[in-house]
């Protein structure tokens, strides 16, 4: 029997261990807490990295999932923005200090005192943070967002990580009509980047190592599809791109070949998070004054702007749904490269 201070979830108990449906402890409920029944949760590459301790040791047991939507069931005394019955979403961040210069200036995602991830994190009181492969979720109101009225929970879920991870830097670097944007990697992140850049009015070109995604790229809004191994086709775009967003990074990534495609004073945006160090030829940056930028999720303000933009421009990700009870199979299929282009779990 589950009591009010526990919830059922798919927990990962160790690297290479199967997921287990089990009872887990909630974080403490306080005046700033929002609690929800989870309706949907997207599957993100970050989930697999974390389950595998790919970015460092994971604090097992861990409940992953940070593309969460649901229905509010309880709010703390300080919560006025949400009420029971509201449809809401949560992304990859569940807390920051809210006091440093970054937080006070609307950049809570790069809090100078560190962020609490929606999973595999620790709250100031020592409670662990757990994600959305679960029946319920509980967290701080500042990192909870209303789902737009014209958007279903299943569609909204993946906006909260993949969506904002790609929207925020494209917006920050002012992608607009007249720009030419390349998206490297047409996966869960990359397909979102194509949708955003096209909606912002730019010409978009997909660059991939696999020709199997050409038709999808064109349907998503690309004007062209380039195989990274096709040197002749790549050469066609030498000095062409105002922006390149890199959503997929292989260990043998050819920095020189890709940076040669950029215009002078262009911006290369890295949103992929490889497990290996980068090896960048410096003169490829220097001779064109290329700006090399990283971007981590997005701030609450950027998430709200993204949701408004998506609602207005009818930006919708391509998703495949699985029942929450079939989460182990969904993870197996995810590892096999089957998403086109985001998997969403449904309670």
Nearest CA to 154 out of 129, 171, 132 is that of: 132
| Contact by Cβ (8 Å): 119, 61 | no
| Contact by Cβ (8 Å): 244, 268 | yes
Is the same domain home to 267 and 335? no
Is the same domain home to 24 and 93? yes
Is the same domain home to 91 and 238? no
Q: Is residue 1 part of a domain?
A: no
**Euclidean distance between the first and final Cα of the chain, in Å?**
19
Is the same domain home to 135 and 185? no
Is the same domain home to 12 and 147? yes
Is the same domain home to 74 and 95? yes
Predicted local distance difference test score (pLDDT) of residue 32: 98
Predicted local distance difference test score (pLDDT) of residue 224: 98
Domain that holds residue 12: 6-161+298-346
Is the same domain home to 211 and 131? no
Cα distance between residue 240 and residue 169, in whole Å: 19
Predicted local distance difference test score (pLDDT) of residue 3: 55
**Chain-centroid distance, C-alpha 267:** 20
Is the same domain home to 157 and 218? no
> In the chain, which ranges are E strands?
6-12, 19-25, 33-43, 68-75, 87-90, 93-95, 116-117, 136-140, 144-146, 180-184, 203-208, 224-227, 241-246, 262-270, 291-294, 319-323, 342-346
When divided into structural domains, the chain yields a total of 2
Is the same domain home to 18 and 128? yes
Is the same domain home to 69 and 113? yes
**CATH code where residue 213 lies:** 3.40.50.720
Size (the chain), residues? 347
SS3 content of the chain, % helix, strand, coil (to 5): 30, 30, 45
Is the same domain home to 87 and 151? yes
Domain final residue, candidates 272, 294, 316: 294
Predicted local distance difference test score (pLDDT) of residue 250: 87
| Contact by Cβ (8 Å): 222, 184 | no
Stated pTM of the model: 0.96
Q: Is residue 211 part of a domain?
A: yes
Predicted local distance difference test score (pLDDT) of residue 252: 87
Each of the 347 residues of the chain gets a pLDDT tens digit; together they read: 345 899 999 999 999 999 999 999 999 999 999 999 999 999 999 999 999 999 999 999 999 999 999 999 999 999 999 999 999 999 999 999 999 999 999 999 999 999 999 999 999 999 999 999 999 999 999 999 999 999 999 999 999 999 999 999 999 999 999 999 999 999 999 999 999 999 999 999 999 998 999 999 999 999 999 999 999 999 999 999 999 999 999 888 999 999 999 999 999 999 998 878 899 999 999 999 999 999 999 999 999 999 999 999 999 999 999 999 999 999 999 999 999 999 999 99
């Amino acid at each position: 029997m589950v009591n009010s201070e526990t919830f059922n979830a798919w927990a990962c108990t160790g690297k290479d261990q199967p997921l287990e449906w089990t009872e887990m402890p909630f974080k403490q409920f306080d005046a700033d807490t929002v609690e929800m029944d989870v309706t949907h949760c997207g599957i993100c590459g970050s989930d697999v990295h974390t389950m595998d301790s790919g970015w460092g040791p994971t604090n097992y047991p861990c409940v992953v999932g940070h593309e969460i939507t649901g229905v509010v069931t309880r709010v703390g005394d300080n919560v006025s923005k949400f009420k029971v019955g509201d449809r809401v979403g949560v992304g990859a961040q569940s807390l920051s200090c809210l006091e440093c210069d970054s937080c006070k200036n609307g950049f809570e995602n790069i809090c100078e005192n560190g962020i609490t991830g929606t999973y595999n994190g620790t709250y100031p009181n020592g409670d662990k943070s757990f994600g959305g492969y679960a029946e319920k979720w509980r967290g701080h109101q500042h990192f909870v967002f209303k789902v737009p009225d014209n958007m279903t929970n299943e569609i909204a879920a993946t906006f909260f990580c993949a969506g904002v991870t790609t929207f925020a830097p494209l917006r920050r670097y002012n992608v607009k009509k007249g720009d030419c944007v390349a998206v490297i990697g047409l996966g869960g992140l990359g397909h979102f980047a194509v949708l955003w850049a096209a909606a912002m009015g730019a010409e978009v070109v997909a660059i991939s190592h696999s020709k199997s995604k050409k038709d999808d790229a064109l349907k998503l809004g690309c004007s062209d599809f380039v195989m990274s191994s096709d040197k002749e086709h790549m050469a066609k775009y030498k000095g062409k791109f105002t922006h390149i967003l890199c959503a997929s990074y292989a260990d043998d990534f050819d920095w020189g070949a890709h940076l040669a495609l950029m215009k002078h004073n262009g911006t290369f945006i890295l949103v992929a998070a490889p497990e290996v160090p980068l090896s960048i030829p410096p003169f490829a940056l220097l001779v064109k004054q290329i700006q090399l930028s990283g971007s981590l999720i997005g701030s609450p303000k950027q998430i709200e702007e993204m949701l408004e933009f998506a609602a207005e421009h009818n930006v919708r990700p391509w998703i495949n749904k699985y029942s929450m009870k079939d989460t182990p199979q969904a993870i197996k299929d995810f590892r096999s490269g089957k998403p086109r282009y985001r998997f969403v779990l449904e309670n």
